[in-house]
Amino acid sequence: MTQSYHALALYSGGLDSILAMKTVLDQGLRVLGLHFCSPFFGHPDKIGHWQRIYNLEIRPVDVHQEFIDILRQGPRFGYGKVLNPCVDCKITMLSHAKSLLDQYGARFLISGEVLGQRPMSQRRDTLNLISKQADVRDLLLRPLCAGHLPSTPMEEEGLVDRSRLHSISGRGRKDQLRLAETYGLTEIPTPAGGCLLAEQESAKRFWPVLTRIPEPSPRDFALANMSRQYWNDGLWMMVGRNKANNDALARMAQAEDLLFKTADVQGPLALGRRKPGIIWTEEDIRRAATFVAGFTAKKRPPGQTPLVRVASSGQSRTLECPAESPSETGWTEFTWDRTKQEKQDWINANSPS
Ligand code: SF4
């Protein structure tokens, strides 16, 4: 039988989410942390460690497809500085958590937001918007900044003691570090968020997948986050950086994908993504093989024709590649500047006129 709790908490692994849970647990209430996992955030592998060192109960919640859908459709409430759709993200997590209340017999929800801490998602008007859109206005307690917010039904009913909640606001961490000491936390998470959508380096890898790959899957985003990434219009190829990377690409490849490897000298493995809706012509394959051969150009004596083995769907063949400069093959890396420009074009095209 599922154990029952008084509250379900959004648990990111960040300090604020730990302190929010601790504040309510400290009042003798039972709290279950929900750790949301998507291709862009979440560390289900750390749950055991967190449970042990913080003495918390935590469950993973899979929202892979929900987050891919949000990004594919474009977030209703906009992006943050990079590709982080923080307002839509919070609404989605709270709505999802609300749908689990009955399953855990829980009465209310907890989140670790701090008024004024983040420019986009933690302003007073945005906190109100999030609660309203997620339809959790009477269910959501924000224990770290409750003193700055109107009391909730949980406080009015006496289930939660308002005088033992906090009034933290702003961007500093001093109050949180003091609280961490009060609750005896021995390991303090670093302030870095851990959300790949907020990092340019990851965002420039995800954007072309979102905009060019039909029906991208969690596997596609995992692939986007490893190895060197190259694009040629709608065609996508990953090139391993080292042996571990090559092995990982080989493990992640699906039968219909194209695997390229130089046959005359040692070189990296490259994976050309092929799935329904992505057509590779013979000329595309030849140009990709030429590009892959370019990674080992220095290993070849002058005049030696590069040989590249191409494997797919259980069959393989070896191509002789022309002495063409890899830069003429059309394959390039996707930059953050290009991502930023395309994101802005999307915003302009989708803004109400
Ligand atoms: S930083 Fe990432 S995980 Fe955090 S609220 Fe924004 S989108 Fe969600």
Among the listed ranges 51-65, 97-111, 183-197, 211-225, which one has the minimum average pLDDT value? 183-197
- Work out which ligand 1 atom sits closest to the CA atom of 86: 6
Predicted confidence band of residue 124 (pLDDT cuts 50, 70, 90): confident
Within 10 angstroms of residue 339's Cβ, the number of other Cβ atoms is 21
Is the CB of 84 inside a 6 Å radius of any atom of ligand 1? yes
pLDDT recorded at residue 122: 78
- Work out which ligand 1 atom sits closest to the CA atom of 84: 7
Predicted confidence band of residue 296 (pLDDT cuts 50, 70, 90): very high
Cα separation, 215 vs 49, in Å, equals 34
Ligand 1 centroid to 82 CA: how many Å?
11
Within 10 angstroms of residue 175's Cβ, the number of other Cβ atoms is 16
Using one digit for the tens of pLDDT, what is the confidence trace for 141-168? Answer: 999 999 999 999 999 999 999 999 999 9
Ligand 1 centroid to 337 CA: how many Å?
21
- Work out which ligand 1 atom sits closest to the CA atom of 89: 8
Is the CB of 198 inside a 6 Å radius of any atom of ligand 1? yes
Q: Looking at residues 319-327, what average pLDDT do you find? A: 78
Q: Looking at residues 263-270, what average pLDDT do you find? A: 96
pLDDT recorded at residue 238: 98
Q: Looking at residues 8-12, what average pLDDT do you find? A: 97
pLDDT at 1 over 70: no
Using one digit for the tens of pLDDT, what is the confidence trace for 166-209? Answer: 999 988 889 999 999 999 999 999 876 689 999 999 999 999 99
pLDDT at 31 over 60: yes
Protein residue with its CA nearest to atom 6 in ligand 1 = 86
Cα separation, 254 vs 263, in Å, equals 21
pLDDT recorded at residue 324: 65
Ligand 1 centroid to 86 CA: how many Å?
5
Predicted confidence band of residue 42 (pLDDT cuts 50, 70, 90): very high
pLDDT at 323 over 70: no
- Amino acid identity of residue 334, one-letter, is F
Is the CB of 89 inside a 6 Å radius of any atom of ligand 1? yes
Is the CB of 274 inside a 6 Å radius of any atom of ligand 1? no
Is the CB of 197 inside a 6 Å radius of any atom of ligand 1? yes
Q: Looking at residues 322-345, what average pLDDT do you find? A: 88
Q: Which residue has the tokens 């595309």?
A: 284
Predicted confidence band of residue 116 (pLDDT cuts 50, 70, 90): confident
Is the CB of 205 inside a 6 Å radius of any atom of ligand 1? no
Mean pLDDT of all residues belonging to the chain: 93
Q: Which CATH architecture has domain 7-196?
A: 3-Layer(aba) Sandwich (3.40)
Using the CB atoms, write b or e for 228-266: b if 16+ within 10 Å.
ebbbbeebbbbbbeeeebbebbeebbeeebbbbbbbbbe
pLDDT at 120 over 80: no
Protein residue with its CA nearest to atom 2 in ligand 1 = 195
Asked whether the beta carbons of 179 and 166 are under 8 A apart, the reply is yes
Residue ranges per domain, the chain? 7-196, 199-343
Among the listed ranges 156-160, 270-274, 295-299, which one has the minimum average pLDDT value? 295-299
Ligand 1 centroid to 213 CA: how many Å?
23
pLDDT at 322 over 90: no
Is the CB of 35 inside a 6 Å radius of any atom of ligand 1? no
pLDDT recorded at residue 288: 95
Pick the more confident residue, 233 or 258.
258
pLDDT recorded at residue 193: 66
